[in-house]
Amino acid sequence: DESALAKGGGSLRRLRSWFGPDDDVAGSHDDVYKVRRKIVMSDLPIWSRQDLIKQTVAANKVTLLQGETGSGKTTQVAAYILEMVEALKSEAAYPVPRGASGPPCRIICTQPRRIAAITVAKRVAEELGEVVGEGVVGYKVRGVSVCGPKCKILFCTTGVLLRRLSQEGQNDMFSPKTVTHLIVDEVHERNCETDFMLTFVR
């Protein structure tokens, strides 16, 4: 499968998925994931804007989301995107081959600090009625990886993602095998790592 191969060091190497199932491996496709929230945060200000957020993300390569502290940006947006992607799959909006689950969904949410990445991952998993690392939500911080084979939403520090991006070729930094949706949280906290990340996104 040439689409799964990438040049590295003068030879061809197989581009492996960062997290979640390997989409070109037989038997790796699951049924369409049904997002069933155990905790519905309808009292958050962002709740009434979720349809607008989904439409904007679907229609644009880059979306800038601004809101007050406590509005729900950090904990809700990743789940909204997952709901959007899985809804499109279930509606057969994509030409999905028999036995496949459609285009992959790999959402990465960066946090400037490791404690934030861990805490938010646990909270999002709890809202989805899961244990972090056992379902669709996981996290990776320096020296620790809590990420299962069904993971679709990965929280990590900006530094962890930058190190992984640097290992991939220019054409593979953002792809179905690596990142389909990237959420850079706390982007207003300008530091060297965030600036490098914005350069990659650009």
Residue 100 CB burial class (10 angstroms; 0-12, 13-18, ≥19)? middle
| Contact present, 153 and 83 (Cβ < 8 Å) | no
Q: Looking at residue 78, what is its pLDDT?
A: 94
Cβ burial 150-188 (10 Å sphere, 16+ → b, else e): bbbbbbbbbbbbbebbeebeeeebbbbbbbbbbbbbbbe
Cβ-based neighbour number of residue 198 at 10 Å? 12
Each residue's pLDDT tens digit in the chain (202 positions)?
A: 333 334 344 333 455 567 776 554 434 444 555 666 656 677 888 999 999 999 999 899 889 898 888 889 999 999 999 989 888 777 654 444 444 445 678 899 999 899 999 999 999 999 999 999 999 999 999 889 998 888 999 999 988 888 887 777 666 667 777 788 999 988 877 778 777 777 777 6
For residue 33, give every residue at least 6 positions away whose Cβ sits within 8 Å of its Cβ, in sequence order, or none. Answer: 82, 86, 136, 150, 152
Tokens coding 195: 């600036």
Q: Looking at residue 172, what is its pLDDT?
A: 67
| Contact present, 124 and 39 (Cβ < 8 Å) | no
Phi, then psi, of 114 in degrees rounded to 5? -65, -35
| Contact present, 109 and 120 (Cβ < 8 Å) | yes
Residue 83 CB burial class (10 angstroms; 0-12, 13-18, ≥19)? middle
